Amino acid sequence: MRKIFVLTLIAMVLAGCAGFGNNGANDSNSQWFTSNYFKDSTQKFGINENTILNWTRGISKDKFDYKVLSALQMLGYSFELNKGDRRAPNVVVLERFKRDNGIGIDDDPNREQVTKETLLALDKQMKEQEQKDAVLAQRFSLYPNTVTDHPNGVTKEFVSAIVVKSLEALPSNLVDLGRRNMLQCEVSQCTGGIAPGSFIFQKGTDTPIRSVPQDDNFDFYNVRFLGKKDEQSASGGFSLGTEILVTIHEYGHYLDGSIYAPLAGTKQGMIDTREFYKISYEGVDALGSPPFYFKHHLLYLKEGLNESAFVDNYGMAREGNDKQGKMQYRYVEDFAESFATYVASGKDFRKKAENNEILKRKYDWLKQNVFNEIEYDTDLPRISGNYDYRFGGELKRLE
């Protein structure tokens, strides 16, 4: 019989109170563990009755388990699928956290206990994380309108900080965290553009707004990272590192003049990418003046090129054969994925380009035409596939 993977919270940890010691909540230093400690007043302290089969699916957001897992997510731990370890991601990640902090792990490899020592370590690190996120969130113009999925989920400061961490890593001439540019980016790219879903909703609802709002009657909600607004149980999702890489990828689309026309007062469509696409694709000149993507969203690969000409499979973006059986490609993914990889996985991009002429041309084009000679000392994987990976939240430039 297949084993059930369980993350067990021990009743004795909390000793019948919402704090960590004899003084109750006063022993907690972070806001995370003192506010909204349990939403469900009928919850028995420390008892988890949920089954965890994969990612974080099946965990009620009203349970304390979700609060613990959200804390680990905010600290940069990855819950993404690990092909090398088929145990429940939640168990493996908690085990990794305990090892990182010198805390003993459970003898049973298929479950892990949240001990008092674990909560104290989480509390200390969450206090530090809260302080960092609070500073970054103030630089995000949509922070006052940011909402999250549940009181036990990640904080609005954390969600806002993701955007700031991602975009402030770029050269300053490409970035504007102000309200107009951010709303234009989210509405153009995530609602009317090529990315699915919407991040801008009518306030207090799950109804997307299809045009840039002129007042404050809206919510900024990262549906890609948090899941649907009305979900009552966790459904799994990206790690912090992957969300940062994807945020940069989508912003790269927004900057792409092949997709969007330049708009005064914003960064939309500011990069002429035609020469970049000519590196890998035929027929770019025949598309005419940009923007042309929504009229001509597929191109053919140049003769002799294959997947090795791209930073990863997603950047290649095969779309299917035409009537003559020739493969067509959604070329705009090449720029966005190369753009994101340049910033978040600079080491890997440079290594691949060492013995690959096409990748070297792409890297050099980005370096000279987009990044003003700035390079990055980064190695963030798109999908980590490794619970041993923890993103520290910093995208360092090469000195």
pLDDT digits (tens, 9 = 90+) for 163-185: 999 999 999 999 999 999 999 99
Whether 135 is covered by a domain: the verdict is no
Domain stops at, among 203, 224, 253: 253
Whether 184 is covered by a domain: the verdict is yes
269 in the same domain as 359: yes
359 in the same domain as 262: yes
Whether 391 is covered by a domain: the verdict is no
Mean pLDDT of 360-375: 98
Whether 1 is covered by a domain: the verdict is no
152 in the same domain as 121: no
Q: How many CB atoms lie within 10 A of CB 307?
A: 11
**Contact, 235 vs 54, CB < 8 A?**
no
Most trustworthy range by pLDDT among 92-101, 202-211, 230-239, 261-270? 261-270
Count of domains observed in the chain: 3
What whole-number distance in Å separates Cα of residue 12 and Cα of residue 152? 21
Domain that holds residue 325: 255-369
Whether 309 is covered by a domain: the verdict is yes
85 in the same domain as 14: yes
Domain stops at, among 225, 253, 281: 253
Whether 386 is covered by a domain: the verdict is no
Query: What is the structure's pLDDT at 192?
Result: 63
148 in the same domain as 62: no
What is the average pLDDT value for the chain, to the nearest integer?
A: 83
Please name which of 366, 362, 367, 301 lies closest in space to residue 330, comparing C-alpha atoms: 301
Cis before residue 291, ω within 30 degrees of 0?
yes
Please name which of 142, 137, 159, 141 lies closest in space to residue 150, comparing C-alpha atoms: 159
What whole-number distance in Å separates Cα of residue 136 and Cα of residue 157? 8
**Contact, 223 vs 199, CB < 8 A?**
yes
120 in the same domain as 13: yes
202 in the same domain as 222: yes
Whether 84 is covered by a domain: the verdict is yes
318 in the same domain as 220: no
- pTM equals 0.88
Whether 385 is covered by a domain: the verdict is no
Q: How confident is the model at residue 90 (pLDDT cuts 50, 70, 90)?
A: confident
- Asked if pLDDT for residue 71 goes beyond 80, the answer is yes
Q: How many CB atoms lie within 10 A of CB 321?
A: 10
Sign of the alpha-carbon torsion through 382, 386, 391, 397: negative
Residues 6+ apart with CB under 8 A from 357: none
Query: What is the structure's pLDDT at 193?
Result: 64
**Contact, 66 vs 231, CB < 8 A?**
no
Lowest mean pLDDT among 141-155, 317-331, 379-393: 379-393
Query: What is the structure's pLDDT at 56?
Result: 44
Give the model confidence (pLDDT) of 12-45 as tens digits: 333 333 444 433 444 568 888 775 443 333 433 3
334 in the same domain as 231: no
- Asked if pLDDT for residue 117 goes beyond 50, the answer is yes
246 in the same domain as 150: yes
149 in the same domain as 78: no
